[in-house]
Structure 1
Amino acid sequence: MKKKKNVYLRLLKSKVYLLILAGALSSCENTGKRIGRDADDRLVASVGSQRLFSSDLEFLSAKITPGEDSAKFAERYVQNWIRKQLMVQQAEKNKSIDPAELERKLLDYKYALMVYEYEKDYVDQNLDKDVPYEEISAYYNQNRENFILKEIISRVNFFKLEKQLPQNKDLERLLKSNRDNSKEIRELAQRYASNFFLEDSTWVKFDEVTQNTPLAGHPNKVQLLKSNDFYKVEDEEFAYYFKILEFKLADQVPPMDFVRDEIAKIILNKRKVSLADQLHKDIYSRALEKNEFTIHD
């Protein structure tokens, strides 16, 4: 037993390892029914009459992530293959399995997969992926209550600067000013900020803006937003500035811009379903016109 195990490990560390590194892409799992194998196509594992050869492992090269140990990856695959073959053999001994029923289910699965692939290709080729603003707006207005927020969102300007920078005072003065200082603020942020978010029209989750800042652990962010539209907080190294432009609380309806991408996906999915349904109807109608099927009494 020990000798067989050593041979198995050598195969994994030599032939299998080299095949994976070579990056060859060909066959996947095989049960030993192929003929005409190369002379150096070594047997890696067997379970009963089923055989797994080194060439059957070539496809693994495409599945290995950078930095992953290819030999260990191959070993896991071989172990999984063995377990699956053992389960198959055990299942074959189960007298309660009806071979005819199993064959029917296999055919049903095969036909369903063929139809799915055909539908997918048809939809991909015929789908109109352009979703105009008017259509998104109409869907939003008809389904506003379906987009109730589960968390706070906001339009906010955020800045993170090193505490000792003299520009901190300039930024605070500009943010507190009632004048339009957007150009000056952007220039200052680009030159001195370690991080900043300055997108006045963009709605974002408030927790994402406050993440990794002293406000992240604030016990009552609702009260925080309602109390003031400007906050400055500090830690040992940095000063953080928040200019709250607008916010929406959980359980409120978000603005359309916040859910625009989500609505576009919903509309596209509806189009896909409609295309597939129409495909079925068209195929049936054509077959009916050409008398391509018969219903027998």
Structure 2
Amino acid sequence: MGLRKSYIVCLLAILVAGLSFIFISCQQTTHQNTDDTLARVGNEYLTIDQAVNNIPEAVLSEDSVNALTKYRENWIRQQLLLQEATRLGLDQKPEVQQKIERAREEILRQALKDYVLASEEDDMQITDEEARTYYQANKEQFVLEEDFVKFRHMRTKTIKEARNARQDLLDGVPWSEVAHTYAINPSTVISESDQYWPISMAAQDIDIMHRYLTVIGQSEISPIQRVDGVYHFVQLIETRSEGDHPNLEWLIEQIKDWMILNNRQRNFSSYVKNLYLKAESNNEIETFNVLPTKFNRNSTLQDTLENNSTNE
């Protein structure tokens, strides 16, 4: 990560200050606080580390300079808004203070929940065997809501490659061999062909291929079509009909995630209940009977107190 960040520092320096500055920054080690600073608004500073830690890894990897530039510009705008709100004294208004306090309380409650669940993480892991047992006991709950298909989607650079790939499959050449010989991205097409897809999502990025999958028969290969300079065809391998039970292997990770989530909710509910019982036993909770027997929109709290009073 250190080398990656150094690389990003250099790229941003080129963007912001030009080649002369990047040469100095990358070749020399200095003690100035602005070495890793992307921006300043008033007394607030944005560092490269802060930005990198708040940008999704995929976005940063795709174009680090562009991602950091956009983040910096957004950060500047947000800081300007905050400082203007403070200058106007909005942070001192009672209604704003109440909202801030409610937000603080909600953050603390969520922090407590995260803390409790993290402390019990090891005890909440679900094994494959536990997931299989749950699936078998509740199999009637797991049915396909639409057709699922398993298919091969060939993508080639030339029509000749597409025709050769199609003919090889018709001649019985193994799919992996055909994919490695002709496909634009062999590992991707092989990986995709090992999965079952909801028919609504099957080859959805290429509409004509999606439509072929809804009409061709098992093992049948579609005609070749050229889309955006790439040659495509699909072969339907297997269909699982709506209403069928899915293979456990499709669901095992989802079942484990659901069981873990259910355990977390149950454990935290128990934790809250124990907190309540403990506070109750320590006389830390007290309720007051000031509520009306029947709700009346015209009654007030004072009315209720007077109606409940007695001279006895």
Q: TM-score range by the shorter chain?
A: 0.5 to 0.7
Rate the CA distance shift 1:91–1:233 in 2: closer, same or farther, 3 A.
farther
* Match of residue 153 from structure 1: 148
- TM-score normalised to structure 1 length: 0.59
CA contact (8 A) 2:223 2:233 kept: yes
Secondary structure of residue in 1 paired with 2:172:
helix
For residues 80-159 of structure 1, what are the structure 2 equivalents within 5 Å?
80-90=78-88, 92=90, 99=94, 103=97, 105-127=99-121, 128-131=124-127, 132-138=130-136, 141-144=139-142, 148-149=145-146, 152-159=147-154
Q: Deviations over 1:83-127 (max 9, x none)?
A: 333345557499xx6x3x655554443333222212102102213
> 2-side partners of 1:62 and 1:229: how far apart?
53
Q: Deviations over 1:222-268 (max 9, x none)?
A: 3x04x55412321357463403222435xx46614444443333222
Secondary structure of residue in 2 paired with 1:285:
helix
CA contact (8 A) 2:126 2:259 kept: no
Q: Percent identity?
A: 9
For residues 285-296 of structure 1, what are the structure 2 equivalents within 5 Å?
285-289=277-281, 291=282, 293=284, 295=286
Q: Does 1:282 align with 2:274?
A: yes
5+ residue gaps, structure 2, are 1-15, 26-31, 53-59, 289-312
Q: Deviations over 1:147-184 (max 9, x none)?
A: 624xx521224444654355643321217xxxxxxxx4
Query: Which of structures 1 and 2 has the larger relative contact order (alpha carbons within 8 angstroms, sep 6+)?
Result: 1
CA contact (8 A) 2:203 2:209 kept: yes
Amino acid at match of 1:130: I
> 2-side partners of 1:69 and 1:134: how far apart?
43
Rate the CA distance shift 1:148–1:253 in 2: closer, same or farther, 3 A.
farther
> 2-side partners of 1:245 and 1:126: how far apart?
42
Secondary structure of residue in 2 paired with 1:231:
coil
Q: Does 1:215 align with 2:208?
A: yes
Amino acid at match of 1:153: F
> 2-side partners of 1:154 and 1:62: how far apart?
44
* Match of residue 181 from structure 1: none
Q: Does 1:234 align with 2:214?
A: no
Secondary structure of residue in 2 paired with 1:266:
helix
Q: Does 1:58 align with 2:55?
A: no
* Match of residue 196 from structure 2: 203
> 2-side partners of 1:68 and 1:191: how far apart?
36
* Match of residue 33 from structure 1: none
Rate the CA distance shift 1:114–1:246 in 2: closer, same or farther, 3 A.
same
Rate the CA distance shift 1:135–1:268 in 2: closer, same or farther, 3 A.
farther
> 1-side partners of 2:67 and 2:208: how far apart?
42
Q: Tell me how far 1:209 sits from its aligned partner.
A: 4.8
5+ residue gaps, structure 1, are 1-12, 26-41, 46-51, 176-183
Q: Deviations over 1:36-66 (max 9, x none)?
A: xxxxxx9x65xxxxxx22xx21346532541
CA RMSD after TM alignment: 4.3
* Match of residue 6 from structure 1: none
Q: Tell me how far 1:285 sits from its aligned partner.
A: 3.2
Rate the CA distance shift 1:88–1:155 in 2: closer, same or farther, 3 A.
same
> 2-side partners of 1:72 and 1:280: how far apart?
42
> 1-side partners of 2:48 and 2:274: how far apart?
42
* Match of residue 190 from structure 1: 180
* Match of residue 22 from structure 1: 35
Rate the CA distance shift 1:240–1:20 in 2: closer, same or farther, 3 A.
farther
